[in-house]
Amino acid sequence: MELFGKIFPKALLFGMLLCIASCSPNYLKDFKLLNNSDLKIPTIFNHDFQKSLYKAKLTIRGRELSGVLIVKRINKSGFRIVFMSEIGLKYFDFGIEYGGEEFMARTYYIMPVLNRGEARDILINDFSLLLSDFKANRKPVVYRSAESKRIAVEYNYNGQVYICFRQSGSDRIGAVKWKSRAGGRSGINIGSFPDGIPSGIEITNKKYSLFLKLQLIEQ
């Protein structure tokens, strides 16, 4: 019994570590590290961006909300994100202000159905990443796929590790994935960039059954 008591905790710890390793997403399976790369992380919304209007559809836990989403720069380092129905019923209204490698978020309004669990935090975190200019980031780690020649950039933002995949033949980001805690983190896919603004954005979080689709209407 004493021997079992000594072995069991170690076996349990080993099993937990094995599970974590096996459950972690391997987004860089066929990618190789590029040494001495000076590649920078491209901004998703360009520095001249002021305002854009998107047709939006948000599905969360089987409930669907549709309307328009407005993204507006309110000052040099701050943005306002408002999602409302076609008749003006507001779903959420967030403010995001950047300072160095961190951001401060303010919720001006959020409807009760969205203010449950981690839905609000997921939306704020994803929009803060989309609107960041990455100026204060440390030098990123760069990878290249041996097969597809795609470029992946790994970096730390707000205490979490993200991987950006650049669009083929472009210096623009096409997708963002989380390296850790993928079960509770969303993935972001980004469309083409007319005039430096994403034409389409899709945010998916399977754990919380959340899906947000944006299609550019005007800027």
Domain boundaries, the chain: 31-218
How many Å apart are CA 189 and CA 184, to the nearest integer?
17
Domain 31-218: which CATH number of 3.50.50.60, 2.50.20.10, 2.40.40.20, 1.10.8.60: 2.50.20.10
Pairing relationship of beta strands 151-157 and 173-178 according to DSSP bridges: unpaired
- 162 Cβ neighbours under 8 A, 6+ residues apart: 129, 154, 155, 156, 176, 177, 178, 179
HSE-up of residue 182 (Cα within 13 Å, Cβ side): 16
The structure's pTM equals 0.78
Residue 122 pLDDT class (50, 70, 90 cuts): confident
| pLDDT tens figures, 4-57 | 445 444 544 444 334 433 344 567 777 888 776 666 666 788 777 889 999 999
Q: What is the pLDDT of residue 110?
A: 96
